[in-house]
Amino acid sequence: MDTNDFKEALKSGRLSGVYIFAGEEEYLVRYYLKSLRDAVGIDDAFAVFNNPTFDGEEIDFGAIAEAIKSPPMMSDYKLIEWRHADFNVLREQGHAQLDELIELCREHSYSIVAFTASGDGLDFGTQNKPSAFIKKFAKREGLNILRFDKSTENQLYAWLKKHFDAHGISVTLDTVKALVFRSGRSMDVLANEVEKLSALAHARGKDSVSADDVNEVASSTPECDTFALSNAILERSKQKAYFALEEMKIKRVDPIAAMGMVARTFDDLTAVAHLLEEGRGLGEIKAVLGMNEYKLKIYINAAKRYGAERLSKIVELLAKADSGAKFGGVTGYTAVELFISQNL
């Protein structure tokens, strides 16, 4: 079952049997489980009877079977939930017990069972070589498996725009790209950032959020934080570079790692610059380098600022500086600071 079929079932009320919500995107696993819970219509006053919940990797099929058999209280349906199940540990006996649960739900049509298997709790295998579980149960009548993989960047952009729209806030494509670049791809984190940025916009009497707002207040991933030095290089700002180096010293970052970051930044810039010289456009460069589009736009602007010839020279100087540090030359943060002072 795909999400469109599931949404159609929710609208029509054709809900029955056993559901498994699984995959890496835990936000969507929880979201669609809640959608099922809402569709069943659980009254809080009778939730203890009509929405029994269990938790744990090892499934107690006996407990679920007992819950299926008992009728709902003041309701047409009941929803039995088992969270964080690990289907990978099931062997023949476990598969047989799952089959029995499916048949039991058929006999007691008022009961619906929902499992969640977040992360690696259900091995799907591959398209060409599905796992043993998927081979056996993918088309099993009465069992619906919904898979939620990590969202692609384009899916995240569309999802973010929809969430900002719900808050009455307009955003551009550059804004949502900036947010994913800065805060990462976790939908849980991004949902919180949307709330924060929307609240800020309303507090300021605005109905939109810009990339500048994102850079001002959005939480950054550890990876993004470590790129402070890289960002200073892209801007050709010695002051920001020295500040980033001071922060790295405080955090006891190995100066070799700092020099490595400088080298990677200039290597990427040089590659972008030469591709631009060849007449390649944004899409072609993205395909060649596999770089995030928002990040690539920043690199393109920076590459134009330096120029391909200058960047090639800097890469040569970096190789010499690295060699000198290894064979008795200037070492440590002094080497990084000296290089920054001469080449930014």
- Name the band, by pLDDT with cuts 50, 70 and 90, for residue 278: very high
> For residue 183, what pLDDT is reported?
86
At residue 267, the pLDDT reads: 93
| pLDDT value of position 53 | 94
Rounded-to-10 torsion of CA 48, 54, 55, 56: 160
Query: Residue 184: what pLDDT?
Result: 84
Question: Which of 59, 69, 51 lies closest to 20, judged by CA?
Answer: 59
For residue 85, the 8-state DSSP code is -
Please report how many Cα atoms fall inside a 13 Å half-sphere around the Cα of residue 40, on the Cβ side.
30
**Percent of the chain scoring above 90 in pLDDT:** 52
pLDDT of residue 190: 94
The neighbour count for residue 22, using CB atoms within 10 Å, is 23
- In this structure, the number of other CB atoms found within 10 A of the CB of residue 70 comes to 15
As a whole number of Å, the end-to-end CA separation of the chain is 55
How much is the pLDDT for 326?
63
Four-point Cα dihedral 174, 179, 181, 184, nearest 10: -150
Q: Which of 160-164, 175-179, 216-220, 277-281 has the highest mean pLDDT?
A: 160-164
3-class secondary structure, 236: coil
Note the pLDDT of residue 327: 55
Give the model's pLDDT for residue 99. Answer: 94
DSSP letter assigned to residue 18: E
Q: Computed over its alpha carbons, how large is the radius of gyration of the chain?
A: 27
pLDDT band at 220 (very low <50, low <70, confident <90, very high): confident
pLDDT at 329 over 70: no
Measure the CA–CA gap between 121 and 144, rounded to whole angstroms: 16
- For the segment 251-280, the average pLDDT, to the nearest whole number, is 88
In tens, the pLDDT along 1-31 reads 788 888 888 888 888 899 999 998 889 999 9
Query: Cα separation of 59 and 330, whole Å?
Result: 61
156 pLDDT above the threshold of 80? yes
Residue 163: per-residue pLDDT: 95
Question: Per mean pLDDT, which range of 76-80, 178-182, 225-229, 308-312 is the poorest?
Answer: 225-229
Q: What is the mean pLDDT of residues 191-214?
A: 94
Residue 218, pLDDT above cutoff 60: yes
The C-alpha angle with vertex 126 and arms to 121 and 130, in degrees rounded to 5, equals 75
Dump pLDDT digits (tens) for 54-104.
999 999 999 999 999 999 998 889 999 999 999 998 889 999 999 999 999
Closest to 15 (Cα-Cα) out of 60, 76, 64: 76
Under DSSP, the state recorded for 299 is H
The pTM score is 0.67
Whether the pLDDT of residue 206 is over 90: the answer is: yes
Quickly state the pLDDT bin for 328 (edges 50, 70, 90): low
Number of H helices, E strands in the chain: 18, 7
User: What mean pLDDT is reported for the chain?
Assistant: 89
Average pLDDT of 27-40?
Answer: 92
Q: Where is mean pLDDT largest: 79-83, 118-122, 211-215?
A: 79-83
Q: What is the mean pLDDT of residues 135-163?
A: 92
Question: According to the model, what pLDDT value does residue 14 have?
Answer: 84
Nearest to 236 by CA among 310, 322, 329: 310
What value, to the nearest 5°, has the Cα angle with vertex 182 and ends 180 and 188?
55
The pLDDT value recorded for residue 86 is 93
CB–CB of 308/276 below 8 Å?
yes
pLDDT at 222: 59
Listed residue (11, 16, 3) closest to 80, CA to CA = 16
pLDDT tens figures, 289-312: 988 888 889 899 999 999 999 999
Residue 256 has a pLDDT of: 83
